[in-house]
Structure 1
Amino acid sequence: MKKILVITLAALLSVFFIDRSYSKHNQAVIQKTLINEIKEHRQEPIVTIDFRKLYDFKWDEVYVFTPGTSLKNIEQTLGFTWLDAKSTGIKNRDDMDLIVFVENNQVAQYIMLPRKYGTLQPMAQKGNFMVKTS
C-alpha cells in the first residue's frame, strides 16, 4: 500500500512540475508575441492592439494592472481569489504592467509587460488596447 501511495505522489508531483514549466514557457511566448507586435509599430506614438487577433487561447476578459497594484485590488477587480497573484510581485514593481486573461472566473494566462515598451490603456471595444509607446 505504501508503495502505491509513493508512486501516486511521485506521479502527481511530476505532473505539477511539468504543468508549471509548460505554463512558464507559454507566458514567455505570449509576452514575446506582444512585445514583437509593439516593436513592429515602434515609430507610431500610439499603437492599437487587438488581443483577440493576437492570441488564439481562450479567454473572456482581459485586465491590465499597473505597477503598485495591491493584491486586494486585483481580487476585487477580478471578482475572485487568484492564488498566483502574489507571485507576480506587481505590488512592489514600478517597471511592469500585469496583463491577466480570464476565462470562466479563472485565470487562463497572465504575462508581465515591461513598461519600456509602452503603457496599455483599454479601449471601448473588448480586447482592444491602446499602447502609448512614447
Structure 2
Amino acid sequence: MKKLLIFTLVALLSIFFIDRSYSKQNQAELQQMLISKIEEQQLVNNEIKVNFEELFDFKWDKVYVFTPYTSIKEVNNQLGFTWLGAKSTGIDRRDDVNLIVFVENNQVAQYIELPRSYGDIVAKGEEAFEINGS
C-alpha cells in the first residue's frame, strides 16, 4: 500500500511538472507568434492592428489586457473569477510587459506577456485591440 501511495504521488508530481513545463513552452510560442506578427507589419499612424482570432488557433471566448502594475485583485475582478496563476505573472509589480489573458468558460485558456518594447496594447471596443508603437 505504501509503495502504491508513493508511486501515485510521484506520478502526480511528474504530471504537474510536465504540464507546467509544457504551459511555459506553449506560452513562449504564442508570445513569439504575436511578436513576429507585430514585426512583420508596418506602423500606420503609429499603430498596428492584430486579429487574435486569425493569429491563434486555440479556443477562447474573451480576451483581457492588463497593463503594468495592475493589481492581482483587479485582474481577478476584471476576469470575474480568481485566477491562481495571476500572481506568478508578476503584473502587479512589473512595468516591462502587458499581460494578455484569453479566457474560455471562465477559465484562463492561455496568456501572453508582451514586452512593452513592442508597444502598448489599447482596447478598441470589446474584443478589438491595437498595439501602439513605442
What's the TM-score bracket when you normalise by the shorter of the two chains?
A: over 0.9
SS of residue paired to 1:58: coil
The TM-score, its normalising length taken from structure 1, stands at: 0.95
Corresponding position of 2:19: 19
1:21-70 deviation per Cα after TM superposition (whole angstroms, max 9, x unaligned):
00000000000000011111144421111100000001110000000000
The amino acid that maps onto 2:27 is: Q
Unmatched 5+ stretches in structure 1: none
Corresponding position of 2:106: 105
Q: In percent, how many aligned pairs have the same letter?
A: 59
**How many residues end up aligned between the 2 structures?**
133
Corresponding position of 1:68: 69
In the TM superposition, structure 1's runs of 4+ consecutive aligned residues that sit over 6 Å from their partners are: none
The TM-score, its normalising length taken from structure 2, stands at: 0.95
Would you say 1:53 and 2:69 are equivalent positions? no
Unmatched 5+ stretches in structure 2: none
Would you say 1:95 and 2:59 are equivalent positions? no
Give yes or no for contact 1:42–1:133 (8 Å, CA) kept in 2: no
Q: Provide the C-alpha distance between the structure 2 equivalents of 1:42 and 1:7, rounded to a whole number of angstroms.
A: 55
Structure ranking higher on relative contact order (CA contacts 8 Å, 6+ apart): 1
Shift of 1:130: 0.7
